[in-house]
Amino acid sequence: MRILVTGGAGFIGSALIRHVLQTSDHHILNVDVLSYAGNLGSLAQVQGHPNYTFSQTNICDATQIAMHLQQFRPDIIIHLAAESHVDRSIDGPAQFIQTNIVGTYTLLEQSRQYWEGLSSQNKQNFRFHHVSTDEVYGDLGRTDALFTEMTAYNPSSPYSASKASSDHLVRAWHRSYGLPVVLSNCSNNYGPYQFPEKLIPHMLLSALKGQPLPVYGAGDQVRDWLYVDDHVRALIAVATRGRIGETYNIGGKQEKKNLDVVQAICSILEELHLGKPAGLARYSDLITFVEDRPGHDQRYAIDASKITTELGWQAQESFETGLRKTVLWYLENTSWWERILNGAYRLDRLGKQA
Ligand code: NAD
């Protein structure tokens, strides 16, 4: 199979590419603009793989996308490219509108034209898989029922609103033009190679440096956490076996308060008996409560029974084991995140250009 992945230099996309190339003989074209979040260092272990090609391309560039589709001739597109950080979307929404909405539109329109030109057999087999988030559903109260695929959209941040818009566009391209699409909406991911601005790596690396661990509000916001490799297996199941036109919610049934996540990171660091930064008695002493961010949703939680029933997927990693693996990975791979913190990763252009 030939799979075009967008956003493959990001956290989830790079995990997907590493997994596919390690476990199958599929060919992959990774189309990624290398924004601040794109990091070819996350793909170092697949560089030079005969089935892997990288192209530094913006999904908003219709001409480049059309060229890639004609030359690579994918059977499946897995679309992950996005601006993905909620805080950044509040500070500067324009790039989120551009990449998440205009970029998805551009990709859909070029995919439609490519798909319409396929032979009837290839047309039937083609799939466009749009990767989205549970944040499109908005806020859940403590005792509300979990998000299902039927939950009405109610996004709160520019990020989630732009992802909601892109989901609607994908469904419209299916309804209006017949483009064979599948969608998935997933809960918070964590694991190795996650950009240090996200909650878990940010707290972990700050703790290692003895810096404050800023927790929004009282830290009682609840998120449903999923280990990234579990998400990758779900994405492959949806992309290859999901029913056309359907949406699948993906989640790990691991609801945690943000404060508990930060405390769990501190506890793991304590157990590892690392040399602590000077003057620090306990890592948890670094926890500092800061003013909550505007529009901060209280709770997200996913009902993943559809993907379990239809596609036989379920999360394998518990939050406790996944978090420990993640902490150990960051401790063992300091050069990966140091190159981000000092900016050197932006100079990497290790990829094989298409
Ligand atoms: P990420 O920010 O780590 O990676 C995004 C990638 O997209 C980067 O490599 C970046 O260079 C690339 N990109 C950005 N703009 C682009 C453009 N205009 N053209 C081409 N490439 C571009 O994000 P992630 O955490 O890996 O998330 C991937 C996808 O999964 C996103 O669509 C996100 O909404 C969705 N998602 C993420 C989570 C999560 O917890 N991280 C949960 C659910 C869904």
- By CB neighbour count within 10 A (0-12 exposed, 13-18 middle, 19+ buried), where does 318 fall? middle
Tell me what pLDDT residue 354 has: 39
- Kindly report, residue by residue over 108-127, the tens digit of the pLDDT: 999 999 999 999 999 999 99
Distances (CA, A) of 279 to 161, 211, 285, 286, 349: 44, 12, 11, 11, 41
| The model's pTM | 0.96
Alpha carbon distance 317, 229 (integer Å): 9
Q: Ligand 1 centre and the CA of 32: distance in Å?
A: 10
Contacts of 121 (CB under 8 A, 6+ apart): none
ipTM of the complex: 0.99
Q: Could you give the domains of the chain?
A: 2-194+226-253+300-317+343-347 (3.40.50.720)
DSSP string computed for 172-235: HHHHHH---EEEEEE-EEE-TT--TTSHHHHHHHHHHTT--EEEETTS--EEEEEEHHHHHHHH
Q: Is 135 one of the annotated active-site residues of the chain?
A: yes
Query: How far does residue 122's CA lie from ligand 1's centre (Å)?
Result: 28
pLDDT value at residue 295: 80
Please report the DSSP string for 74-86 in residue order.
-SEEEE------H
| C-beta of residue 79 within 8 angstroms of C-beta of residue 6 | yes
Q: Which residues of the chain have pLDDT under 50?
A: 350-354
Residues 11/194, Cβ–Cβ less than 8 Å: yes
Q: Is 52 annotated as catalytic?
A: no
Catalytic residue among 32, 52, 83, 134: 134
Pocket test for ligand 1, best of 4, 6, 12 (most atoms within 8 A of CB): 12
Question: What's the sign of the alpha-carbon dihedral 202, 92, 6, 37?
Answer: negative
Determine the pLDDT at residue 143.
Answer: 83
Return the residue matching tokens 């579990």.
230
Q: Which atom of ligand 1 is nearest to the CA of 189?
A: 40
Ligand 1 atom closest to residue 195's alpha carbon, by position in its atom list: 3
The residue whose CA has the least distance to atom 43 of ligand 1 is: 133
In the prediction, which pLDDT does 349 show?
Answer: 59
The binding-site residues of ligand 1, defined as CB within 6 angstroms of any ligand atom, are: 6-7, 9-13, 32-35, 37-38, 58-60, 80-84, 99, 103, 131-133, 163, 186, 188-189, 195
Percent of the chain with pLDDT over 90: 91
Are 103 and 38 in contact, with CB atoms under 8 Å apart?
no
Closest CA to 181 of 132, 226, 136: 132
Q: By the 8 A CB rule, do 254 and 318 touch?
A: yes
User: Could you tell me if 207 and 213 are in contact, meaning their C-beta atoms sit under 8 angstroms apart?
Assistant: yes
